[in-house]
Amino acid sequence: MVKAKGRAGACILMFVGLAVAGAQARGDDATPARSVASAQEFLRQVLPGNRYVSTMMSGIVEKARREGLRADFEPLPLIFDADPVAECRSMLLADIDPTDLVVRDPNTHEAAVSSLADLVQDGVVGSPDGFDFGSIRQTRHSGSRVYLRFAGEQLDAVVHLEGEEIAGRVHAAFDYLRRHCDPAAATGF
């Protein structure tokens, strides 16, 4: 217990009071603890409205490149569902109905345009069962893009975001989930 006498004592009590109030204020502003549930909720809130290129779509672009052609998707599919399904499993669905595959021959400047939905006979890209974050083997981000390498794949799926800052945060959430949902993580390696 602190006993204060006179003006000096009053100053000490005032400083102690300010220090306690400051510590309480910092506690209120502290970053919430990360968890699988909070990372999934963050992605649920942030991903819809952004653009997505699935691994299958990356494969189409790569095949065109190997044949000396250039392929693009216009517009990129819009993510409409990133809801959690279970712990470590979330939806990642994007609407491909308005998306065209545009293939150009750089030598002749000819272009062919096809509806992506017609080509894959579906209006949505992504698994209707969601995907397990433990199946992500590698994540990285560059600029406003986040790259996801899934198990067994040679190419990346790409999430296109509004800017670099949000891409860094989305990358951090995906990477957190990748590490914490990996079933082999329990082995310590």
pTM above 0.85, yes or no: no
Q: Tell whether 131 is covered by a domain.
A: yes
What are the backbone angles phi and psi of residue 141, rounded to the nearest 5°?
-140, 150
Q: Angle at the Cα of 152 (from 149 to 156), degrees rounded to 5?
A: 25
Task: Give domain status of residue 19, yes or no.
Answer: no
Please report which confidence band the pLDDT of residue 189 belongs to, taking 50, 70 and 90 as the band edges. confident
pLDDT at 18: 43
Question: What's the number of domains the chain is made of?
Answer: 1
In a domain, 147, yes or no: yes
Is residue 4 assigned to a domain? no
Is the N-terminal amide bond of 75 cis, ω within 30° of 0? Answer: yes
Dig out the tokens for 166 from the structure.
């949000």
Element (H, E) at 137: strand 136-142
- Confirm whether 135 is domain-assigned: yes
Find tokens 């065209």 and name the residue.
100
Task: Look up the domain containing 72 and give its range.
Answer: 35-183
* pLDDT tens-digit map of 35-87: 999 999 999 999 999 999 999 999 999 999 999 999 999 999 999 999 999 99
Residue 2 is assigned to a structural domain of this protein:
no
Residue 28 located in a structural domain: no
Tell me whether residue 26 is in a domain. Answer: no
